[in-house]
A and B are shown apart, each in its own frame.
Chain A
């Protein structure tokens, strides 16, 4: 029996029953399409998180007061107030692996300009903050050391603030907005950054000298957190170690005691989020995989019914010279073709629906060639695996009984 004949026999048999062939393939089509789409969503969100994090700077480090004990946050107010400007100064002078460092205090409230207002956050930082967070100025300038020292009422604003307060004014630089009851002169506008992967608007912020916020809005002398950046990505770990050591000294923590602060790096966060999205991808993939399995069982079911229904055909084929192996191969090839053709349609449908998801829901999707190859291989295996038993049943039929079968 040559292979082109076999292929033709199997194809004719499938074409003789197009609608059933389609129904049989449907399970595989849906299974493969959902595997492709799910993996695309999973991969997409992972890619998106990684892109964004690296855009934000993988060498960013942030330091918060309080320890990192698992099992609940129990922080006294004194603990929360443990960080001072001296800590920032110490990091600046002691930690060679740290290139920039900024204190952060923040407050939320209404930003008001004219008759417009907008609920937002004001961050008190120093002039290195833009560099650490990879923000850029679209117009105007950053604030100066002098403005920090003199509690100057100046601010740099993000795009969202501009859009909501200054819809009628071309350039907000030089205008004065109020935050709470304090007037701030706008000296700079940031370039747009868009949403981050958590859906937060990164342009909805007002930056002002931390001294101004401490004194005029919050009336505090401590700082809420510290942002720093390592001189390079490779120096991340060293920077974290140096910061930890420095802060333990400035906070006079005994060698036996726990830190009263914790240091986190952006790359650590990237790893965490990547791990989370990997788990998500695996879960989505597993659910889709189950539907693929159900599709495979569907093929087996139909092939099994088909063997019974085509008993006389099998008897005839044996009578006119088909060998058992020919019958076996015919049915295997049939189920193989059904699942591979179903798989190819499923892959196409998966690509289309991934694009649809991307454009309608504006979710990030990434279809990797690996997931396509994987889906294709799984289909081939399913075709052969689930076709095996029905094919063996067909080949084992007694020709005389099969010919007489009603």
Chain B
């Protein structure tokens, strides 16, 4: 078997707030294989986002080891971490975080600006390709404020895809969307996953977690439960059954 894409051992993360120390993560072990679509679940405040920030190399753990794609993260400098975020990781946020007054295409191009190996011609081509992949080829020149929440989130997914990362990290990516649109996003992510993308998806909704192959339940900074689903629900099928133009709940 090939080595896991992500391997963490004994990850702890403390926050000092004045006199008090908050133990946000208290010893997490986790391995993620290539091609997995994994849900990180748990109540609010259980440490999901903190975990994702560590996995995304945005935050350094207080202790523990983290190997990403065979590289020991603990040994890297700030600039090397930035390079890693650019090349190996893609982020999708709850509130999309698109640049305002900037077209979908330019938003998707953004990560490529921080990649020296890519020429401006490649940049454009790759961004168009990514927008095709998320089904927004016809919205290329639209500004964020001219698009629905679901469309904006798809632009954000295209942006996460554009550098062809090893792992996509999503934090409550459907949190701002209605049920129907959430399913559309999940259908898109399932489609990408089927094509081989590894995705780690933080959510507190069981409704959403059922679209993944595996879930990791967090509780007070520890893993409380790990589940593997033999048969995941298919978002595309559910969508087909939904009456169009009408949102559930």
Contacts and interface: CB of A to CB of B under 8 A. Distances in A.
A199 B117 CA distance: 68
B11 to A, nearest CB: 16
A9 interface: yes
A237 to B, nearest CB: 69
Interface stretch (B33-41, B98-106, B210-218): B98-106
Interface string B84-95: 011100010100
A321 interface: yes
B123 to A, nearest CB: 9
B101 A403 contact: no
B102 A320 contact: no
B70 interface: no
A321 B86 contact: yes
B116 interface: yes
Contact of B83 (A4, A12, A321): A321
Nearest to A313: B99
A318 B82 contact: yes
B51 to A, nearest CB: 12
Contact of A1 (B53, B58, B111, B114): B114
Given A1-B114, A400-B58, A400-B59, A323 B102 contact: no
Contact of A321 (B59, B101, B115): B115
A325 B97 CA distance: 21
A323 B154 CA distance: 25
A317 B159 CA distance: 12
A16 interface: yes
Nearest to A5: B113
Given A312-B97, A313-B99, A320 B59 contact: no
B24 to A, nearest CB: 12
Interface residues of B, number: 28
B100 A16 contact: yes
Interface residues of A, number: 26
A319 B85 contact: yes
A293 to B, nearest CB: 31
Contacts of A318: 58, 82
B78 A403 contact: no
A319 B82 CA distance: 8
Contacts of A320: 85-86, 91, 110-111, 114, 159
A322 interface: yes
Contacts of A324: 78-79, 82
Interface in B111-138: 111, 113-116, 120
Given A16-B99, A316-B97, A403-B97, A321 B87 contact: yes
A306 to B, nearest CB: 13
Contacts of B58: 318-319, 399-400, 403
Nearest to B88: A321
Interface string A295-317: 00000000000000000110111
B91 A322 contact: no
A2 interface: yes
B56 interface: yes
A300 B73 CA distance: 37
Contacts of A16: 99-102
A21 to B, nearest CB: 12
Contacts of B102: 12, 16
Given A16-B100, A313-B99, A403-B97, A326 B56 contact: no
A216 interface: no
A326 B114 contact: yes
A8 interface: yes
**Taking each of B53, B99, B100, B163, which has the highest tally of chain A beta carbons within 10 Å of its own beta carbon?**
B99
A4 B86 CA distance: 18
Contacts of A322: 82, 114
B157 to A, nearest CB: 13
Nearest 5 A/B pairs, CB to CB: A321-B86, A321-B114, A320-B111, A323-B82, A16-B101
Interface of A: 1-2, 4-5, 8-9, 12, 16-17, 312-313, 315-326, 399-400, 403
18 contacts: A1-B116, A5-B113, A17-B101, A316-B99, A317-B110, A318-B58, A319-B56, A320-B86, A320-B91, A320-B111, A320-B114, A321-B82, A321-B111, A321-B114, A322-B114, A324-B79, A326-B82, A403-B93
